[in-house]
Chain A
């Protein structure tokens, strides 16, 4: 039998990081994700795999340690929650500009400001529309279960190294704090120095005899050089948009209406869908797994055959803008959200849905 464990989403992140052969974690504690570093400290992987776990003096320091580690081709990560992720934005922009792979985990809490420690999804814009400065994109994975928290660590690193781009796991407080069954990935050894050099020939691991020095920077004062960098980034983002869209559909085939939601919001929508189907209302759930690249094409395809969409988020309505762009006016796109750490119930979602679409 597979080894099934019961653990929190945050704990699953930590175990998966060690098991996928990560080289380093740099963080600073903040609720609701402090268990990530606490679990890593308990597991003490520096004694086994050699993975570094370091509590930095601040979020800004942690993301710049990630920048440094990534520049050496190392498999490095950080995690935080909303206000801490805001602090990391400068570093994230630099890492994206320097085209380095790394993994950033955001277990979102209610904002703005210090806000509340309770669950939220209000960092969608920050994550997929920028956050830091400049024309960059983060590959963004949105887990809806503890199992996906574990699985997306490896997937996030894999995509980051495939495209030399930072990946983000964008979870909400529910997924971080909830315990569920999880099968952890198998142990994979950390890469040797030779393997790291081979995978990341651009890395600053010491000058090699007969080769030019490797320079990692996001600075290019000449506009033509900087534009060339941007063109290269945009070409890469286009490739990612073509190849890496991921989503889950539940009962969308025969649906008249579709709920679009991510993370634990999609789980609550699935409960609402089950109750509505028991009443004979054919609803499906579309759950974007990658928030960037966004499943625009799939939503456009569904817009040709359904009567309407309802987007549910733990925010004032952020992803709904991307759904509206995809639907492009073909059918109505309604929205229901809760803010400030509150979460909509499945009963509330059905009531709002019936109101908005005038269904008795």
Chain B
């Protein structure tokens, strides 16, 4: 098993931390993991992205040009990474603020209304967990238990009261994701 994933969006959407939670869950499942953020001008100019690799084997390059799964959370990210999905791969996008739908026909496309759902529930801070839930619905590469354990371990104790809200967000994220293509 090897999953090569890019997560991209605006700064503040929780892109890097979503990648970190995924990587941490992978670690708890005894997988090899790498988490490589774009730390250059992207980070300062408002868009952020992170490459996460989960594998049963030693990971060679942590820097990739093509991905099994791309999660794009704003239009610039879709424009940049739609063509980086391997044929037969998966593209997940959040519908909020998108001016066009993905054009690729040789990949599976999924849409989540995570932004809208999170703001409707007043749960904007757990937005990324809605998206992560959607991803794990489509491809259960790590278990929800391990995600929650990873979250518990990486969050300071004073934030542990937020764990149930995160789990709830993930579960709703699983329900709202829809296949388009």
A residues with a Cβ closer than 8 A to B are 4, 6, 31-32, 116-118, 173-174, 177-181, 264, 267-268, 270-271, 274, 341, 343, 345-348
Q: When A264-B63, A268-B61 are in contact, do A6 and B36 touch as well, CB less than 8 Å? A: no
Given A178-B35, A179-B20, A181-B32, 8 more A-B residue pairs with CB atoms under 8 Å apart are A4-B27, A116-B40, A173-B39, A178-B34, A178-B36, A180-B62, A268-B63, A271-B61
Query: In this assembly, does B159 line the interface, its C-beta being within 8 Å of a C-beta of chain A?
Result: no
Q: When A117-B39, A117-B40, A181-B27 are in contact, do A6 and B62 touch as well, CB less than 8 Å? A: no
Q: What is the distance, in angstroms, from B108's C-beta to the closest C-beta of chain A? A: 23
Query: In this assembly, does B23 line the interface, its C-beta being within 8 Å of a C-beta of chain A?
Result: yes
Contact indicator B35/A6 (Cβ below 8 Å): yes
Picked from B20, B34, B40, B66, the residue with its CB within 8 Å of the CB of A180 is: B34
Q: How far is the CA of A178 from the CA of B36 in the complex (A)?
A: 5
* 14 residue pairs bridging A and B, Cβ less than 8 Å apart: A6-B27, A6-B33, A31-B39, A116-B40, A177-B37, A177-B39, A179-B36, A181-B27, A267-B62, A268-B63, A270-B60, A341-B40, A345-B64, A347-B66
Query: In this assembly, does B65 line the interface, its C-beta being within 8 Å of a C-beta of chain A?
Result: yes
Q: What is the distance, in angstroms, from B3's C-beta to the closest C-beta of chain A? A: 15
Give the residue name and chain of the B residue nearest to A346 (CB): B61
Query: In this assembly, does B24 line the interface, its C-beta being within 8 Å of a C-beta of chain A?
Result: yes
Q: When A180-B35, A341-B40 are in contact, do A6 and B24 touch as well, CB less than 8 Å? A: yes
Q: How far is the CA of A264 from the CA of B59 in the complex (A)?
A: 11
Give the residue name and chain of the B residue nearest to A4 (CB): B27
Q: What is the distance, in angstroms, from B86's C-beta to the closest C-beta of chain A? A: 12
Return chain A residues, CB-CB under 8 Å to B32. 181
Q: How far is the CA of A28 from the CA of B133 in the complex (A)?
A: 41
Q: How far is the CA of A345 from the CA of B40 in the complex (A)?
A: 17
Q: How far is the CA of A6 from the CA of B17 in the complex (A)?
A: 13
Q: How far is the CA of A343 from the CA of B23 in the complex (A)?
A: 23
Give the residue name and chain of the A residue nearest to B52 (CB): A179
Return chain A residues, CB-CB under 8 Å to B23. 6, 179
Contact indicator A264/B60 (Cβ below 8 Å): no
Q: How far is the CA of A341 from the CA of B40 in the complex (A)?
A: 9
> Contact flags (1/0) for B14-55 with A, using CB distance below 8 Å?
000000100110010000111111011000000000000000
Return chain A residues, CB-CB under 8 Å to B37. 177
Contact indicator B60/A268 (Cβ below 8 Å): yes
Give the residue name and chain of the A residue nearest to B66 (CB): A347
Return chain A residues, CB-CB under 8 Å to B62. 174, 178, 180, 264, 267
Q: What is the distance, in angstroms, from B47's C-beta to the closest C-beta of chain A? A: 15
Q: How far is the CA of A274 from the CA of B62 in the complex (A)?
A: 14
Picked from A6, A177, A345, the residue with its CB within 8 Å of the CB of B65 is: A345
Q: How far is the CA of A155 from the CA of B37 in the complex (A)?
A: 28
Contact indicator B27/A271 (Cβ below 8 Å): no
Contact indicator B40/A118 (Cβ below 8 Å): yes
Return chain A residues, CB-CB under 8 Å to B36. 174, 177-179
Q: How far is the CA of A166 from the CA of B134 in the complex (A)?
A: 51
Contact indicator B34/A270 (Cβ below 8 Å): no
Return chain B residues, CB-CB under 8 Å to A4. 27
Return chain A residues, CB-CB under 8 Å to B61. 264, 267-268, 270-271, 346
Q: What is the distance, in angstroms, from B31's C-beta to the closest C-beta of chain A? A: 9
Q: What is the distance, in angstroms, from A109's C-beta to the closest C-beta of chain B? A: 10
Give the residue name and chain of the A residue nearest to B40 (CB): A118
Return chain A residues, CB-CB under 8 Å to B20. 6, 179
Q: What is the distance, in angstroms, from B114's C-beta to the closest C-beta of chain A? A: 24
Return chain A residues, CB-CB under 8 Å to B33. 6, 179-181
Return chain B residues, CB-CB under 8 Å to A174. 36, 62-63
Closest 10 pairs between A and B when the two form their complex, measured CB to CB: A271-B61, A270-B60, A179-B35, A271-B60, A268-B61, A345-B65, A118-B40, A178-B36, A177-B39, A267-B61
Q: How far is the CA of A177 from the CA of B65 in the complex (A)?
A: 18
Q: How far is the CA of A270 from the CA of B60 in the complex (A)?
A: 6
Q: How far is the CA of A271 from the CA of B40 in the complex (A)?
A: 23
Give the residue name and chain of the A residue nearest to B62 (CB): A178
Q: How far is the CA of A270 from the CA of B63 in the complex (A)?
A: 12
Give the residue name and chain of the A residue nearest to B58 (CB): A270
Q: Which of B33, B34, B59 has the most CB of A within 10 A?
A: B34
Q: How far is the CA of A116 from the CA of B172 in the complex (A)?
A: 41
Q: How far is the CA of A348 from the CA of B64 in the complex (A)?
A: 11
Contact indicator A343/B27 (Cβ below 8 Å): no
Return chain B residues, CB-CB under 8 Å to A173. 39
Q: What is the distance, in angstroms, from A213's C-beta to the closest C-beta of chain B? A: 49
Q: How far is the CA of A9 from the CA of B167 in the complex (A)?
A: 30
Q: Which of B33, B36, B62, B65 has the most CB of A within 10 A?
A: B62
Q: What is the distance, in angstroms, from B154's C-beta to the closest C-beta of chain A? A: 8
Q: What is the distance, in angstroms, from A168's C-beta to the closest C-beta of chain B? A: 22
Return chain B residues, CB-CB under 8 Å to A6. 20, 23-24, 27, 33, 35
